[in-house]
Amino acid sequence: MTDRPYVIDQMISAKSIAARVESLADEIEAHYAGTDKLIVIGLLRGSFVFIADLARELDLPVEIDFIEASSYGNSTTSSREVRILKDLRGEIEGRDVLVVEDIVDTGFTLSHVIHLLSARKPRKLEVCALLDKPARREVDIKARFTGFEIPDEFVVGYGIDYAQANRNLSYIGKVRFTD
């Protein structure tokens, strides 16, 4: 599949992303107003560009941590296993936490991570997702803050990959196969 030729059609420009990140940061600041410290947790690897831009727009005391989860599809059942490959470095008990995700697709990854982090008893736990593909949802979960709702297309760029490629694009584009 990764050998199939494809082109990338721009879907969301770098300028639109930057504008949306600014307004998301405003919403997040309002939500966490007065916090002594917000722990912003990026889901590796897809969120690394988004979290870098978002964190710099947040006018709050912030700490950054990362967690990495990997999911395995199982085509015979609609259930999926999610494994934690890299856990947080810090404690979140009693803290204000914001999980930053690139895309909410089926929702399995996010629901697993939220479940895991909730068990550690943060004071407040919300999710900010850059992209949401509601048409693909299998688990009833929604990010508190969403950058853009997009149709059921495979997208890349701004941290998001196709077979590890294209994470460095400054915009978000959809993959179109040309064969």
Binding residues (CB under 6 A) for ligand IMP: these are: 46, 71, 101-110, 154-155, 160
Cα angle at 108 between 106 and 112, to 5 degrees?
A: 160
Q: Name which of Mg ion, ligand IMP, none residue 16 binds, using a CB cut-off of 5 to 8 Å depending on partner kind.
A: none
Partner from Mg ion, ligand IMP, none contacting 105, C-beta within 5 to 8 A by type: ligand IMP
Compute the least distance from the CB of residue 37 to ligand IMP, in Å: 26
Q: In angstroms, give the least distance from the CB of 89 to ligand IMP.
A: 21
In the block, tokens 């015979």 appear at 76
Partner that binds at residue 160, options ligand IMP, Mg ion, none, CB closer than 5 to 8 Å by kind: ligand IMP
Which is nearer to ligand IMP, 148 or 154 (by Cβ)?
154
Catalytic-labelled residue, pool 105, 132, 161, 179 = 105
C-beta closer to ligand IMP: residue 18 or 135: 135
Nearer to ligand IMP, 93 or 178 (CB): 178
| Phi, psi torsion values for 58, nearest 5 degrees | -85, 120
Asked whether the bond before 120 is cis by omega within 30 degrees of 0, the reply is no
| Of 7, 11, 14, nearest in space to 170 by CA | 14
Is the Cα dihedral 15, 165, 132, 10 positive or negative? positive
Q: Residue 177: helix, strand or coil by DSSP?
A: strand
Task: Report the alpha-carbon distance of residue 43 to residue 160 in Å, rounded.
Answer: 12
User: Least CB distance from residue 36 to ligand IMP, whole Å?
Assistant: 30
161 annotated active-site: no
User: CB of 123: closest distance to Mg ion in angstroms?
Assistant: 25
CB atoms within 10 A of CB 135: 11
Binding site for Mg ion (CB under 5 A): 46
Residue 107 binds which entry of ligand IMP, Mg ion, none, CB below 5-8 Å type-dependent: ligand IMP
Provide DSSP, 129-153: EEEE-GGG--S----SEEEEE--S-
- The residues assigned a catalytic role are 105
